[in-house]
Amino acid sequence: MGEFDLIARYFKRPARRAALGIGDDCALLQPAPGTQLAISCDMLVQDRHFFAGVSPHSLGHKALAVNLSDLAACGAKPLAFTLALALPEANEPWLAAFAQGLFELADAHDCELIGGDTTAGPLNICITVFGEVPVVDGRSLALLRSGARAGDDLYVSGTLGDARLALNVQQGKLTLPAHLLTAARERLERPTPRVGLGLALRGIASAAIDLSDGLMGDLGHILECSQIGATVQVDRLLQCVACRTKPGSAEIETAINLSEEQWRTLALAGGDDYELLFTASPSQRAAVAHAAQTSRTPVHLVGQINASPGLRLLDAQGRALPAHYASFDHFA
Ligand code: ADP
Ligand code: MG
């Protein structure tokens, strides 16, 4: 199978919203009047972001999910994406499963594949997504990292740390009972981009970011861009680690033998969570609860934004904890 057959068989579908889809030198995309394009690009590299044996269906899902997560963090509505693919070989069962995982998520978000590039080489997947954000009275409704203000509440969505738990198992650092490993692997391999929540938070959240590298580092980006500080209630964060507690109870899962310090590391520096971290004025608490409800996304209040710079961690008794949890950095 040649390059163009491969594209035609696995990736080319009739254009829907795009003015011109796959097949010419450029795709043509017409943003709706009164909107801006939100654009983001994320690359997945074998042995860096995933292991060789990972299911191609999951990989197709994750490659797009991490990109949709960036749109979610900006409060942008997904429109379209491009796919640059380096493949060691044209393995048809692999391509069929990859395309299925990719298009299932794309269709769920009405996000259309409009172009890309295909080349032979070590497996590498690079997606660029395009989303739409309204501009009202000359002001963009995009959620930015720079909008947090002293006194704002600090929230995270969903669950934290479970993806890292699965990674630790794959790296042979610990073992998990089968039912917990299944749940943790789902979080690592098939993250849920919080697109609905991001859209619902437009005009409510003051700042937002998606959690890809671990909360400490990603919150650090908000603090730096907004030039403020924050206090995080670590016991509240620990309640966001799904594998830590038994479903429907506050009881700690004793089948996972981790120290309190290890649980904190998972929640604070886990990475690969693809949850939203956002801030909002306390006057918006009811609106935040409503956004969580309409988007069917759990949201947890985990701290506050302060005028004094720096990131402070507190335990359940309000005592300071050391803030030495490092986020992921490819070149650190
Ligand atoms: P060019 O050489 O002009 O860059 P190509 O021959 O690489 O174009 O690609 C032909 C068409 O197929 C283009 O419309 C391109 O966007 C599309 N395309 C190539 N690879 C992919 C892919 N992996 N997924 C979707 N579209 C692709
Ligand atoms: Mg060309």
Paired residues of 279 in beta bridges: 154, 207
116 Cβ below 6 A of ligand 1: yes
Mean pLDDT of 92-109: 98
Which pLDDT belongs to residue 296? 98
- Contact between 272 and 165 (Cβ < 8 Å): no
Type of residue numbered 133: V
Mean per-residue pLDDT over the chain, rounded: 94
Type of residue numbered 178: A
Ligand 1 atom at shortest distance from the alpha carbon of 23:
14
99 Cβ below 6 A of ligand 1: no
26 Cβ below 6 A of ligand 1: no
DSSP code of residue 276: E
What pTM does this model have?
Answer: 0.94
261 Cβ below 6 A of ligand 1: no
Mean pLDDT of 151-180: 93
What three-state secondary structure class fits 319?
coil
23 Cβ below 6 A of ligand 1: yes
With 90 as the cut, is the pLDDT of residue 246 above it? no
What three-state secondary structure class fits 35?
strand
C-alpha 92/C-alpha 206 separation (Å) is: 46
Which pLDDT belongs to residue 244? 83
Which pLDDT belongs to residue 313? 96
Type of residue numbered 151: G
- pLDDT tens digit string along 47-99? 989 988 899 999 999 999 999 999 999 999 999 999 999 999 999 999 999 99
Q: Tell me the backbone φ, ψ of residue 287, rounded to 5 degrees.
A: -65, -40
With 70 as the cut, is the pLDDT of residue 332 above it? no
C-alpha 129/C-alpha 107 separation (Å) is: 14
Top mutation candidate among 9, 11, 118, 119 for ligand 1, by most atoms within 8 Å of CB = 118
With 90 as the cut, is the pLDDT of residue 256 above it? no
Residue with CA nearest ligand 1 atom 9: 117
What three-state secondary structure class fits 241?
coil
Which pLDDT belongs to residue 224? 95
Top mutation candidate among 10, 20, 22, 114 for ligand 1, by most atoms within 8 Å of CB = 22
Domains present along the chain, CATH in parentheses: 3-140 (3.30.1330.10), 153-318 (3.90.650.10)
pLDDT category, 247, cuts 50, 70, 90? Answer: low
Query: Which stretches does DSSP call E strand in 51-183?
Result: 77-87, 112-120, 124-136, 139-140, 153-157
117 Cβ below 6 A of ligand 1: yes
**Length of the chain in residues, anyone?**
332
Paired residues of 310 in beta bridges: 229
With 90 as the cut, is the pLDDT of residue 326 above it? no
